[in-house]
Amino acid sequence: MKKLIIENIKTIFYALVIALIIRTLLFQPFYIPSSSMEPNLLIGDRLFVSKYSYGYSKHSFPFSLPIFKDRIFYSKPNRGDVIVFKTPTDDRTDYIKRLIGLPGDSVQFIDGDVYVNDNQILKSIISKNEQVFCGTKKMNVNFFEEKLPNGKIHIASYRKNFSFQNSDKFTVPSNHYFFLGDNRDCSKDSRFLTSVGYVHENNLVGKAQFIFFSSDYRIGYIVEFWKWHKSFRFNRFFKKIS
């Protein structure tokens, strides 16, 4: 009996070590709790983030253990990547946004359009009279296809009325990045310097790769099994994030 207990403890220990290695070096699951990336990421999406995409920092480890001072095996992210990062204000909270501005870039909103280095991001409307969430309320928006300077294409939503119009010119410091939420009028991102602002390269956690599970908690919680067929978004399972 004693030998069996010891073997079970060893098995559990090895399993935890393997899980820790996978979580630290390869993939980590994340849950989307807000609507700031709609329509591309929805509340209730669960996704995998690749930890190796940009190298490793202390934020690669559970509890952000200060094992590394800076990043190792660093690979620079590409404009348009959807990235999980730790907010600079507390160095602890996970945010997920789209990378718009690279070090040295200028980013500015002018009359509702985004400009990078004084060049307007190409934007074409693809759908009118859509709805996205902003907190618990729905917001009337139009969907636009945006093409970044490197050719990366994504969908962004803009409020039909009273959309974010103009901003100061943001100049991205060295070794920092500028992020925006795809739900442009319901996102706390790098436009808000006191809460998010410019994100240092050491705060990058990883690149969002694909959604492995999605459910709408507004329809039914996991314990309400009789509502599963309505709450599960099967069309989002194993969907690649672009």
CA trace torsion 53, 55, 61, 64 (10° rounding):
-110
Q: Which of 188, 187, 168 is nearest to 88 (CA)?
A: 188
Count CA atoms closer than 13 A to 150's CA, side-chain side: 11
Catalytic hit among 51, 97, 215, 231? 97
Count CA atoms closer than 13 A to 85's CA, side-chain side: 28
Length of the chain: 242
> How far is it, in rounded angstroms, from Cα 171 to Cα 20?
38
Q: Could you give the C-alpha distances from 111 to 7, 130, 164, 166, 167, in angstroms and in order?
A: 66, 21, 8, 6, 9
Catalytic hit among 34, 36, 157, 190? 36
Is there a catalytic annotation at residue 97? Answer: yes
Do the Cβ atoms of 162 and 89 come closer than 8 Å?
Answer: no
| 21 phi, psi to nearest 5 deg | -65, -45
Catalytic residues: 36, 97
